[in-house]
Structure 1
């Protein structure tokens, strides 16, 4: 399997790269980031390619060539609620929504394999019903993330061979920090998930197929426990 990892220098992206490099069914990895990444230890240079983009909504023809024949992608680029609030709705939408759809189009233009599975890492608070009357300062953020999910599914439906699903983790944390993270998250009403569990579940779905959409925080944890 040839896997594309978008946002490979981030907290989650690094763990995806680490696990993917050891996965017996993943034979080729393409990372997408704004700075170059070295091939993981044990991965032959010919089976790894680091694609550098100026931003995640900008893809050169060279980048598209690297995507050719890919079987799947895990998209990790997005914003946490605090970052969204700091950037504002216009820039927040560009980073989370516009870039995701631009990336999907770039992949579609590159002649990927069929089926091609796209796993979008969303968030626990996402709301797909765009007519929902939400309260609180994060109402716009929640609707925006749900809108990305909607349009990822719509894109897949319009492109033969594309399959898509969204995962909705809560606060992602290292296993050693789980208890402290749970206490912090409880005050915000967020669920928590261990980084390694979140990643192993996403990899399993991209490699073996999607059984449902969206996939909740607890469902990700349960799936990781069964692998």
Structure 2
């Protein structure tokens, strides 16, 4: 299928599996920006599921390198700041908050360095899969249907690994992703750029809401 056809088929399945979504949109339970953000997640999953295995591995390596560099920089900045009492005093920064942020970014750095060093963890779709699960979970949408929709999407995209996925495997991997994945909203713009019709503040705001 071409991308336009994939999107059309996906939307039909979304309506089939989640008939209450339209009501949520009408009542503004799901905001316009949040719906756009969900569209961005879908678009990126389609991109991930329509590439060759070789391109997926190359894309994963590029993605992970960008993420590691980002967290190295953020960790280094906060580590240096913690060493300067003058900087902390002049900028009226609370040291405990700065320490907390340092630990936050350092833990993310360690996670992504571990992924970079592991040849078995090049799955570039996992960030958007994680966001997909977070989005669905935040609106308490039926879990089994979230898996069915993903399997359908893989099929629409002729994803080369579709035959290896079923509801049980997705459920297992979802539990691992939800408990282990470490990602901050700024990473999404760094790895892909914001190619949506949302401005960066809107995009980052929606991402942050689902990542918290």
* TMscore range, shorter length: under 0.3
More helix by share: 2
Bigger strand share: 1
Q: Which has the higher contact order (CA 8 A, sep 6+)?
A: 2
Which of the pair has more CA radius of gyration?
2
